[in-house]
Amino acid sequence: MRSITKPADDLPSSSTPGESGQMLFAILFIALLPAAGLQSAHASDIRVSASVSSTHIAAGQQFTLTVEVQSREPRNVSNPELPELYGMQYLSSLPQTSSRYSLVDGIAQMTYRFNYTLLAMESGSYEIPSVYISVDDREYQTRPVYMRIRPSGDDSRPVTRRTRRPDMFLELELSEKRPIRGQQIVAEIVLYFRNTIEVNTFHVTEGWQTEGFWREDLNRSPTRRPESVILDGTPYRRAVLNRYALFPTRAGELTIPPFSIRASVRQSGRFRDDHSAFFDGFGQQRNVDLKTSPKLLRILVPPSPPSDGQLISALGQFHVERTLSQDVVKLGESVDVITEISGTGNLGLITRPVFEYPASFDTHRPREVIERNERSPQMSGSKQFRDVLIARNAGTFTIPDNTILVYDDARRRYERHILPELTIEVVRDPNARITIAQDHRIRLTPIRGSVTWTNAERPPVWFSWWFWFALVIPAGVFAYGLRVHQYQKKLSSDDSFSRRERAMDKATKLLKSTSRITGTKEIYGIIHKVLSNYIADRINLPNAGLSDRQIVEELRKKNVTQPVIRRVHVLLEKCATVRYTPYPSSRDLMTNLSEARRLISDLEAEI
């Protein structure tokens, strides 16, 4: 901490040097106390991270180390302090810096990014240590980054004669050759082309079906620019077209099928590929079909886990934390037990950990939230499980500690993440008038003092609800039965009433019978019969001997609306004249059947 002193001449003459120093220290402490609180409040939204463009590369290739600082407001960020590296080296100690401001869903975010170009030197597994960076004069550090460098070629083979590579080809490069079940495999679709070739566009020509793998798209991560590489002594340009995260779902031999694209290229000279001879011409644009070779992988079974922990199917580099939404809750309120797993690996396959909760809490359906880092070259982010608990009794309760097992695929071993015990205090709400809480414990309290026995007078039976219920139900059933009996008796004795009540059912059955008839003209005859008989039954007219004009006149006498009368007249006339039509259309037939049903429904409400 920097010390602040004041010249002795400025001090009051009545104060001794010791008293003046104490007063000055107290004034400084009071002045700096709000600033320290503000700094701790603002520092909680600062996040620093480090990532590489690829965690599995070949010796001699270049890659990018990115250090990123995220905050909700602008900060004073200094250049990172670079750690010492093994197996790789910095090509430049000066980074490429950039800053970006974004506003998403009303939340502002400021991002500072520092990019360093590194060169892979020796094959093996390496760790990029934590990078230290100062933000607003406060030091932060990133998590270590693990990566592997593979040999650039097999030096044991004779190099006297090598197969000439094509000027342009497509490769499927995998981060793991012998993965275990559930481990993340970063699959990169890489295009290699000579310096004289210009690639304009490309598109995928066939769907990529990765059977046996759960696949995640990583194409939203930062796209790297083409880099220069040396293959068998020949210079090439290397560009990553697509990037995916593959997670094998079963052990054994699995095959990754070919990935096909069609690229539009321009060549300044002659161009040769694997599928054709030389393309003649200078600077002409052509379409080239490229395909990767299938990859056969042997998926291993994960080793047996230790017996002192709980498995949640997590494979990768993860950090597990468990917290409470609040430590003190009121009786009847809810509290969330938040378990957050953050890092890199099979984020989507992680299962919910199971904890033992006190019997005084009701557990409800848990919630699951995944926040994925879209700009990461791997599947990374955080997965959060929220168990909702509701307190039924007041008191202090403890959720016991738990050990979660995570398989670290970089170190090839299980890592134990110990979750400490959590304490919840449940209090009664003093402002609540009534507190309802279930208590399964039986409490027997003796009654002390004298007891007086009295005979309680029972109210009359007609004051009980069941008495009136027993009377109303039989009376209602009797009234309903009597009404049904009178209705059936009137149907059998009154012909006009019977015709009127059964007219609708009779017409509906006749219209349904047309589905079994193939003759179009015969169906029109049934439509005419149905409509005329329905009107006759409803108005109590004879079923035979009435012309269409008489039926229309009877409808006018019954004060049927003019639009309905016009529709009846048109349909009856259509049915009468269709016999003279050579080939009635089936489409008109279906339209007229629907019109007949609508007319009967409309007439039901008017006559």
Output DSSP code: residue 463: G
283-334 pLDDT tens trace = 578 888 999 999 999 999 988 999 889 999 899 999 999 999 999 988 888 8
- Predicted pLDDT of residue 489: 83
**CA separation, residue 534 to residues 4, 43, 331, 553 (Å):** 108, 85, 70, 15
Q: Cα(168)–Cα(154) distance, rounded to whole angstroms? A: 22
- Predicted pLDDT of residue 42: 47
Asked if 334 contacts 432 with a C-beta cutoff of 8 angstroms, the reply is no
pLDDT band at 11 (very low <50, low <70, confident <90, very high): very low
What amino acid is encoded at 601 in this protein? S
**Mean pLDDT score, 342-349:** 89
Highest-scoring range by mean pLDDT, 37-46, 144-153, 392-401:
392-401
- Predicted pLDDT of residue 543: 74
- Predicted pLDDT of residue 10: 36
Q: 126-140, 243-257, 482-496, 561-575: which has the minimum mean pLDDT?
A: 482-496
Mean pLDDT for the chain overall: 80
- Predicted pLDDT of residue 104: 59
- What is the rounded (10 degree) CA torsion for 464, 470, 473, 475? -110
pLDDT band at 471 (very low <50, low <70, confident <90, very high): confident
What amino acid is encoded at 425 in this protein? E
- Predicted pLDDT of residue 453: 54
The more confident residue out of 437 and 79 is: 79
As a whole-number percent, the residues of the chain with pLDDT over 90 amount to 22
562-583 pLDDT tens trace = 888 889 888 888 888 876 666 6
pLDDT at 35 over 50: no
pLDDT at 448 over 70: no
pLDDT at 557 over 80: yes
pLDDT band at 169 (very low <50, low <70, confident <90, very high): very high
Domains along the sequence of the chain with CATH: 43-151 (2.60.40.740), 165-301 (no CATH), 310-427 (2.60.40), 493-604 (1.20.120)
- Predicted pLDDT of residue 485: 83
- Predicted pLDDT of residue 29: 46
Q: What is the CA radius of gyration of the chain?
A: 43
219-241 pLDDT tens trace = 776 556 788 888 877 888 888 88
Q: Identify any residues that bridge with 339 across adjacent strands, giving them in sequence order.
A: 322, 385
Asked if 363 contacts 335 with a C-beta cutoff of 8 angstroms, the reply is no
- Alpha carbon 124 to chain centroid, angstroms: 37
Highest-scoring range by mean pLDDT, 46-60, 219-233, 484-498:
46-60
- Predicted pLDDT of residue 455: 57
Phi-psi region of 182 (alpha: psi -120 to 50; beta: other; left: phi over 0): left
**Mean pLDDT score, 52-77:** 87
pLDDT at 417 over 70: yes
Q: Which two tokens stand for residue 375?
A: 């700009």
pLDDT at 154 over 70: no
Nearest alpha carbon to residue 230 among 270, 197, 192, 200 = 192
The more confident residue out of 376 and 65 is: 65
- Predicted pLDDT of residue 8: 33
- Predicted pLDDT of residue 160: 41
pLDDT at 111 over 60: yes
The number of beta carbons lying within 10 Å of the beta carbon of residue 148 is 17
